Amino acid sequence: MDRVKSLLKELDVVVILGALLLVAAIFRASTFYNLDNLFAILELSAVLGIATLGEALVLIVRGVDISVGAMMGLAGTLSAFLLPDYGMAAAVLLPLLACGLLGLANGLLIEKGRIPPIVATIGMMWVVGGLAGSISSGRLIPIQEQAFQNIALGSIFEVVPLFFVGLLVIGVVALFVRSNFSIGRYVYAVGGDEGAAYYSAIPVSRIRIAVYGVAGILYGIAGLLMASYVRSGMPAVGKGYEFKAITAAVLGGIALTGGRGNLLKAILGAVILIVLYGVVTAFAVSPYIQGIIQGCILVGAVYYATRHD
């Protein structure tokens, strides 16, 4: 019995949940296990995974970021707006620059302005939403450029979407930085024990600000991928992604109290969340029920993580 228990603990709930879902989907094999559906699941996993990585970093430095969805919307809208006249390079780099700067602004408001993270990023969410709304004048901007559409259509051996390759690359870079550079340890130290980090001459403020900036860029990348996926730029495309990203990160074991959590598992949390949506859809239950499941998972996962605190 004990051996079973320890095995379960090692495997962790999140992996078990994922396995259960994949088994359950066998009952709807024709709708779930077909190439188109799996391809879409991998693509959406990549979008959410990249956004979740940003949110996870912010949670690790004991912050929280509600501006995820708005930033994604801005990146996509700005990109669609720039594409016809300024070409691919500008349409990719400028939105990422904008999101990075807005992320830094988040960090500055929180660190230098001493505003609680939740308030600062909600305010930023409106500002960013307003920016995207004024670029698009409240409408949807279609994307006609083939090269941009191809990002979503592209794959390796027609099996693994380019999106997912992108997620893997970003994940590997994040893990490499985490374990080979001092900044990786600093990030965890800042969230783990701010006072101790401060007295160890770690530039706490600057690291936190930088993390919000990096997170902004990651939301921007997720937004660009989403724009390529839906072939248009619209400010509301990322609506609810702050919620999904927080849920995925928590599901992946990122502690809301900061300083703890594995980035790779956070990404896995995102993949499993998307698989869950896929399974729910495959069983053709009312699509409206998704939110109820999502809410219960978030609260349940946090309860599981905090029950012994």
Partner 1 sequence: MQLAMTRAAAGLQRYNQLFLLIVVVAVATVISRGVFLRPSNLVLVIASASAAGLVSFGQALVVVGGGFDLSVGSLVAMSISAIVFFRTDLGMVGGTIAAVMTAVLAGLVSGLLVSRTKIPPFIVTLGMLSVADSMSWILAAGQPITVSEYNDAIAPLFAFLPLGQNAFPILVLVAGFIGTSLLLHRSKWGRYIYAIGSNEAAARIAGVPVMKTKLLSYGLSAFLCAMAAIIYLYQNLSATPGEGADYLLLSFAATILGGVHMYGGSGSIPGVLVGVLCLASITSALTIAGVAPSIYQGVLGVIVLAVVLFQSRLRLRR
Cβ of residue 65: shortest distance to partner 1, in angstroms? 12
Q: What angle do CA 252, 267, 30 make, to 5 degrees?
A: 100
Cβ of residue 142: shortest distance to partner 1, in angstroms? 18
* 133 vs 154, beta carbon nearer partner 1: 133
Binding track over 139-158 against partner 1, x by CB under 8 A: --------------------
| Under rule CB under 8 A, residue 58 binds partner 1 | no
Four-point Cα dihedral 237, 240, 241, 246, nearest 10: 170
**Alpha carbon distance 5, 184 (integer Å):** 32
Beta strands in the chain (DSSP E): 141-142, 155-156, 160-161, 232-233
Are the C-beta atoms of 75 and 54 separated by less than 8 Å?
Answer: no
How big is the site for partner 1, counted in residues (CB under 8 A)? 45
Are the C-beta atoms of 273 and 251 separated by less than 8 Å?
Answer: yes
* 128 vs 162, beta carbon nearer partner 1: 128
Cβ of residue 256: shortest distance to partner 1, in angstroms? 6
Stretch that binds partner 1, among 36-44, 106-114, 150-158, 185-193 (CB under 8 A): 106-114
Alpha carbons within 13 angstroms on the beta-carbon side of residue 150 total 5
Residues in Cβ contact with 271 at an 8 Å cutoff, skipping those fewer than 6 apart: 18, 45, 48, 49
| Under rule CB under 8 A, residue 120 binds partner 1 | yes
* 199 vs 288, beta carbon nearer partner 1: 288
| Under rule CB under 8 A, residue 136 binds partner 1 | yes
Are the C-beta atoms of 248 and 103 separated by less than 8 Å?
Answer: no
Which of 6, 134, 144, 200: binder of partner 1 (CB under 8 A)? 134
Stretch that binds partner 1, among 113-121, 143-151, 172-180, 187-195 (CB under 8 A): 113-121
* 149 vs 281, beta carbon nearer partner 1: 281
Which of 87, 138, 142, 203: binder of partner 1 (CB under 8 A)? 138
Binding track over 271-290 against partner 1, x by CB under 8 A: ---------------x-xxx
What residue spans of 112-203 are helical by DSSP H?
Answer: 117-136, 146-153, 162-180, 182-192, 194-199
Nearest Cα residue to 227 out of 47, 76, 78, 95: 76
* 66 vs 268, beta carbon nearer partner 1: 66
Cβ of residue 70: shortest distance to partner 1, in angstroms? 9
Tokens encoding 130: 């307003």
**For residue 30, how far is the Cα from the chain centroid?**
29
**Alpha carbon distance 264, 271 (integer Å):** 11
Which of 14, 17, 53, 64: binder of partner 1 (CB under 8 A)? 64
Instruction: Name the site residues for partner 1 (rule: CB under 8 A).
Output: 64, 109, 113-116, 118-120, 122-131, 133-134, 136-138, 235, 243, 246, 250, 256, 286, 288-292, 294-296, 298-299, 302-303, 306-307, 309
